């Protein structure tokens, strides 16, 4: 595969031509916050709004998961506009996420915590009004894992793996607006759905909404 030269934060890198900027940067050791990105997806969702960067020659910040690298591209991952956009997106995530990190099985391995550390963003509700008005029931029916929808950030890694890798299609997004969540058809417990309980969805969950029971003890 041919290579192109790009500059990220004043450092030059050789990256594969046609690669999305997010993955090219991460492969070079340059961290860009992201949650919804799945490298194998042909069309990125760009729904988490965390991977903004500024590119020389473009008027506005762009999502790095949707932008292909080009030879000579000059990228800045930290500018006042980028930082403001990332902070706002992060606060929106936290406004609808159960912040009980000490009791979460993903504590210290959570992507939200990583973003918080890397960008020095506070893991607490700040200026945005909390959207989490009531808690959903935790599904403990599977033999090996638990689903806590109150921790879910709705970025669909579990759904993609279930459909594209495992090939079952037991889960998807249900409801709309503030009550949207990952669930089964008819919102049945996972043990009563076509779910094979293989655990692949648990492995890709970035925030501990899905966790193995042995980890949650």
**Does CATH place domain 95-216 in 3.40.50.720?**
no
For the chain, the domains span 3-92, 95-216
CATH, range 3-92: 3.10.20.740
pLDDT (0 to 100) of residue 5: 97
pLDDT (0 to 100) of residue 189: 96
Contacts 24+ apart (CB under 8 A), 36-44: 36/65, 36/155, 36/156, 37/65, 38/157, 38/160, 40/164, 41/160, 44/20
pLDDT tens across the length of the chain (217 residues): 799 999 999 999 999 999 999 999 999 999 999 998 889 888 888 889 999 999 999 999 999 999 999 999 999 999 999 999 999 999 888 877 777 788 888 898 899 999 999 999 987 765 555 555 567 889 999 999 999 998 898 889 999 999 999 999 999 999 887 778 899 999 999 999 999 999 999 999 999 999 999 865 5
SS3 call for 15: strand
């Amino acid at each position: 595969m041919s290579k192109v030269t790009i500059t990220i934060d004043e450092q030059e890198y050789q990256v594969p031509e046609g690669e999305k900027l997010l993955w090219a940067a991460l492969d070079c050791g340059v961290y860009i916050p992201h949650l919804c990105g799945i490298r194998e997806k042909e069309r990125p969702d760009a729904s988490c709004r965390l991977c903004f960067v500024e590119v020389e020659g473009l008027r506005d910040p762009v999502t790095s998961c949707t932008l292909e690298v080009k030879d000579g591209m000059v990228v800045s991952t930290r500018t006042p506009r980028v930082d403001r956009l990332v902070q706002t997106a992060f606060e929106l995530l936290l406004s609808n996420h159960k912040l009980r990190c000490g009791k979460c099985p993903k504590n210290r391995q959570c992507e939200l915590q990583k973003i918080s550390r890397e960008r020095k963003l506070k893991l607490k509700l700040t200026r945005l009004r909390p959207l989490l008005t009531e808690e959903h029931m935790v599904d403990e029916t599977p033999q090996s894992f638990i689903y806590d929808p109150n921790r879910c950030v709705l970025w669909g890694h579990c759904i993609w793996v279930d459909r594209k890798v495992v090939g079952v299609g037991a889960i998807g997004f249900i409801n709309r607006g503030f009550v949207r969540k990952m669930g089964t058809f008819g919102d049945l417990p996972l043990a009563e759905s076509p779910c094979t309980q293989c655990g692949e969805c648990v492995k890709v969950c970035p925030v501990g909404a899905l966790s193995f029971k042995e980890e949650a003890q």
